[in-house]
Amino acid sequence: MHIFTQEPEEYREYSWNRLPEIVPSIVFKTRVRDEALEGSNPYRWQDVNSYEIFGNKKVLLFSLPGAFTPTCDTMQLPRFEELAEEFYAQGFDDIYCISVNDSFVMNKWAESQNLEHVKVLPDGSAAFTNAMQMDVQKDNLGFGVRSWRYAIVVENGTITHWFLEDGKEHDAEEDPYEYTNPEFILDVI
């Protein structure tokens, strides 16, 4: 497994437990469009498990603090969408953006971004984020529990690459965005 960050190895060992090498088994609560439903909100609940997302595929998953937040909304998500074809050319089957937001918010965000390639994945109760050991408090911004910014390459459920932003801590003053930008990831893989 490859880990990309500038923090020294001894700091990584001290500040985190051993990072997962396999994606956790989680059930995501998603909302999917269903044309059979009438009304202005034709969506239904659909549970999707980790295996459906990561099994027998090569997937890039990137996580960010929140939908509609400045860096996430204006740089990170749009840039992954713009460069999606380059990831597909590298053998990726899917690109997912995950955030500690509910499915209603994530779907509206995807709609506002006119996404065609990147799929959004809601982690409303932070179950996946907690299992990945990437949960941080952002009470200093009024957010509560959120995800630290990271990206992973997953091949059939196994994490082959971790991309972590430096400075992971609760109520971090900084919101770094260097190792999880799509250009950096493309250069590495």
Flag whether pLDDT at 11 surpasses 70. Answer: no
**Predicted structure pTM score:** 0.89
If you average pLDDT over residues 63-78, what whole number do you get? 87
72 is catalytic: yes
**What is the homologous superfamily of the domain 2-188 according to CATH?**
Glutaredoxin (3.40.30.10)
**Using CA atoms, how far apart are residues 155 and 176, in angstroms rounded to an integer?**
26
Model confidence pLDDT, tens digit, residues 26-64: 999 998 888 888 887 788 899 999 999 999 999 999 999
The catalytically annotated residue of 61, 72, 98, 132 is 72
Report the candidate in 109, 78, 71 with the shortest Cα–Cα distance to residue 95: 78
Q: What are the sequence ranges of the domains in the chain?
A: 2-188
The values of phi and psi at residue 30, to 5°, are -115, 165
Q: DSSP of 38-61, one letter per residue? A: -SS--EEEEEEEHHHHHTTSEEEE
Q: Is residue 174 over pLDDT 80?
A: yes
